[in-house]
Amino acid sequence: MNKSAFSVFLYSFYMLGMGIGFMIMPNPIITLFGFAPTSEIWIRMLGMLSAVTGTYYLVAARNNLLAFFTISVWGRLFFTVGEIVLVITGMAPPVLLLFAAIEGGGACWTFMTLIKRKN
């Protein structure tokens, strides 16, 4: 597995873990990060979406899908900026910046591995 695939492979476990956690026990997780407990279905739906997305990352990494790695960098950076905007506007607690750091850091790591492949 090359370095680009490895970065996406590790990210897939983050997404799968987060997704499964939100599906099975969302309230203990979200309250750790300062969000109010909820009985609404949206958090479990977010978990399902995260888990499904995690499987895409896993399959892409195992099959060295470079086009997927590239588009994932842009998607993860977009998500990172969105999280930062939510915090800056006061719509989300500052702890969300932890997730932004994970998303942004992972995207930058994948980006750097892709650039090194082209040189």
Whole-structure pTM value = 0.88
Residues 69, 9 contacting (CB under 8 angstroms): no
Query: What type of residue is 24?
Result: I
- pLDDT given for residue 113 in this prediction: 95
Q: What domain count does the chain have?
A: 1
- pLDDT given for residue 116 in this prediction: 86
Domain of residue 41 covers 3-118
- pLDDT given for residue 82 in this prediction: 97
Give the H/E segment covering residue 3: helix 3-24
Residues 53, 15 contacting (CB under 8 angstroms): yes
Q: Which pair of tokens denotes residue 81?
A: 């900026």
- pLDDT given for residue 34 in this prediction: 81
How many percent of the chain have pLDDT more than 90?
85
9-38 burial string, b = 16+ CB within 10 Å, else e?
Answer: eebbebbbebbebbbeebeeebeeeebeee
Taking only the tens place, the pLDDT of each residue in 44-98 is 999 999 999 999 999 999 999 999 999 999 999 999 999 999 999 999 889 899 9
- pLDDT given for residue 119 in this prediction: 46
Residues 107, 80 contacting (CB under 8 angstroms): yes
